[in-house]
């Protein structure tokens, strides 16, 4: 049975929002493409946080940014009807956690998607094995 994080990654259409500060975002995109998922990549920066380019058909959004507060991205996305977010490990903020508590919003924080997507014989697989052993998976 899939846990919440594994279930999130079972979607078919994703958007990955990145400012280039988290290398794992590129790996997530590459892994989704290998698995035949439809993925849109939106690049943002401190001076340009426009996420209007995310197609309406996207089911789930992964955000990995440090140049801006991810909450500033979630607000307009939520207004467009998006409800499924994964905020990359070590990029969530108090504002993000507050939004995640809202009813009807799925918001995963505190984890790297690659721990769930990576191959067993990789640094991500090792991370996954350690997380399972310590009860943090």
Reported as a single tens digit per residue, the pLDDT across 67-124 is: 999 999 999 999 999 999 999 988 999 999 888 888 889 999 988 898 888 666 666 5
Q: What is the pTM of this model?
A: 0.88
HEC string of the chain equals CCCHHHHHCCCCEEEEEECCCCCHHHHHHHHHHHCCCEEEEEECECCECCCCCCCCCCCEEEEECCCCCCHHHHHHHHHCCCCEEEEECCCCCHHHHHHHCCCCCEEEEEECCHHHHCCCCCHHHHHHHHHHHCCCC
What is the count of structural domains for the chain?
A: 1
CATH code, domain carrying 56: 3.40.50.720
For 98, the domain range is 4-133
Residue 2 has pLDDT above 90, yes or no: no
């Amino acid at each position: 049975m899939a846990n919440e994080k594994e279930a999130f990654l079972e979607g078919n259409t994703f958007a990955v929002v990145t400012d280039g500060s988290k290398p794992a975002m590129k790996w997530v995109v590459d892994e989704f493409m290998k698995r035949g998922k439809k993925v849109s990549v939106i690049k943002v920066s401190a001076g340009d946080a426009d996420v209007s380019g995310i197609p309406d058909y996207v089911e789930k959004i992964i955000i990995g940014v440090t140049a801006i507060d991810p909450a500033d991205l979630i607000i307009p996305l939520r207004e467009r009807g998006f409800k499924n977010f994964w905020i990359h490990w070590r990029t969530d903020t108090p504002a993000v956690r507050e939004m995640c508590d809202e009813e009807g919003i799925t918001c995963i924080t505190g984890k790297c998607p690659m721990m769930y997507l990576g191959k067993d014989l990789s640094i991500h697989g090792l991370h996954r094995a350690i997380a399972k052993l310590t009860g943090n998976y």
